[in-house]
Amino acid sequence: MKPKQDKKDKRLNRLYSQDNRDNAGRKTDLRRRKWRRFLRLIRALFATILIIWVIKTLIFSIGDRRQGHNASDDVPSSPQTETNPFTVVLDSGHGGYDVGTEGVSGRYEKDLVLKIALLTRDALMEKSVQAGLDLLVWMTRDDDRFISDIDHERAKMVRAHGGDIVISIHANSFVDPRVSGTETYYYDATSLPLAHIMQQALVRATGFNDRGVRQANFYMLKETGMPAVLLELGYVTNEAEETKLWDKTVQKKIAEAIAEGVLEYISRENEEGGEALSP
């Protein structure tokens, strides 16, 4: 009787083993099917995203062509005229997540110099009209945008656009909060007359300490291909000076001083036989 029972047990074991293998096989197949469905879903999702991106790119490309858009249009500038006007490039230092120097009050250089640059643009346009001069103002930025310093992008932008002079506007800082005053930087002899005019105009307008005209190797001064100056209007690490720099009345005085300095530079160039601009 026992041998028969053993045979029966063996048959049952084989059946159980077969069932287990079948169950394992079914589970494996189920996992494979699920994995294949997942991969199909991922591929479909990726294809959908790619199609949307292509359609969006085509739409914007068509829109840009209809509007006559080109890469240089991404940089703000004044309207062009049919004549050959004298072009002033205004460069507001820093921008975007490049905040520049943080002042005593916690406010940023990038915001201060942009405000003054915009006021300067308006003052230049107004005074040039009053003087009967054909003048344009072009700005490297007229909003809070970031411009990379990699490969000296600002200077490349200026060279690509062209112009007659560059005025780069900044605010200064120092570890000693007692330091104050205005200073103007230039690179070579062609920019020196403009630097002297700007320094004198700013000191007269603000009454700030005159720290003089200084030579520097800044890329915005030597790589733009035209006379260029960098204005350090004052020290935002000096509490009294920062307060004045943020005062709207002082900002307007600074803007008008820069504009008057530009007109004086043009006048001197014409008197000395240069080709700056004729009224």
User: What is the domain partition of the chain in residue ranges?
Assistant: 1-69, 77-271
Residue 27 CA to residue 205 CA, distance in Å, equals 85
pLDDT digits (tens, 9 = 90+) for 243-276: 999 999 999 999 999 999 999 999 999 888 655 5
| Gap between the terminal Cα atoms of the chain | 128
pLDDT digits (tens, 9 = 90+) for 51-107: 765 565 554 443 433 333 333 344 444 444 456 899 999 999 999 999 999 999 999
Q: How far is CA 183 from the centre of its chain?
A: 24
Q: Are strands 182-186 and 165-172 parallel, antiparallel or unpaired?
A: unpaired
Q: Average the pLDDT over 23-27 and give the result.
A: 59
Q: What are φ and ψ of residue 23, in 5° steps?
A: -65, -45
**Quick one: fold of 77-271?**
Aminopeptidase (3.40.630)
8 token code pair: 């029966």
